[in-house]
């Protein structure tokens, strides 16, 4: 059975991204007053509108789906699949590096041979961790982190 966890969204990130979208849309509208060729104005306007749509799709389309054997990370048009058996550790972090997370209240998932792994920000971190441990034999909840049992 699949369980979907939407991304938590920090208010300041939402405001910052909406401000960027507003600037792009205003710029696209103002291009029509410029004394440039029609094809140029149309191309740049369409590009700005597409980038604004991508930003909003990513902001409101970020979620994490736990299946019986994977975590599916969806962020707008981007998608990653993490095999539960490959996970070695999940720990809280506030690392601001780019990731499919709309909040700095994040969980860093280390898996496979990846040193950094992936950071996500489910609205319900504790529920996500409990559900993850219930689905992945060998993972144990230890406070606010998950660790794999050593063989």
pLDDT at 123 over 90: yes
Render pLDDT for 54-93 as a digit per residue (tens, 0 to 9). Answer: 999 999 999 999 999 999 999 999 999 999 999 999 999 9
Query: Average pLDDT for residues 101-127, to the nearest whole number?
Result: 93
Single pTM value for the model = 0.89
User: Which residues, including other chains, have CB under 8 Å from residue 77's CB and lie 6 or more apart?
Assistant: 54, 57
Helices (H), the chain: 11-30, 38-60, 125-135
Task: Check if the beta carbon of residue 20 is closer than 8 Å to that of residue 48.
Answer: no
The whole-number pLDDT of residue 32 equals 86
Task: Check if the beta carbon of residue 128 is closer than 8 Å to that of residue 62.
Answer: no
Widest CA span in the chain: 70
The whole-number pLDDT of residue 53 equals 98
């Amino acid at each position: 059975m699949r369980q979907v966890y939407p991304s938590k969204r920090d208010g300041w990130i939402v405001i910052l991204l909406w401000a960027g979208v507003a600037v792009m849309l205003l710029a696209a509208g103002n291009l029509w007053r410029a004394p440039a060729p029609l094809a140029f104005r149309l191309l740049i306007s369409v590009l700005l509108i597409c980038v604004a749509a991508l930003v909003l799709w990513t902001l409101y389309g970020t979620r994490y789906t736990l299946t019986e054997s994977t975590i599916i990370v969806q962020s707008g048009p981007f998608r990653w699949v993490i095999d539960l058996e490959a996970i070695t550790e999940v720990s809280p972090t506030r690392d601001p590096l780019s990731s499919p997370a709309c909040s700095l209240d994040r969980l860093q998932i280390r898996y496979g041979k990846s040193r950094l792994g992936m950071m996500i920000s489910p609205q319900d971190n504790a529920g996500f961790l409990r559900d993850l441990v219930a689905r992945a034999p060998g993972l144990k909840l230890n406070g606010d982190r998950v660790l794999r049992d050593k063989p």
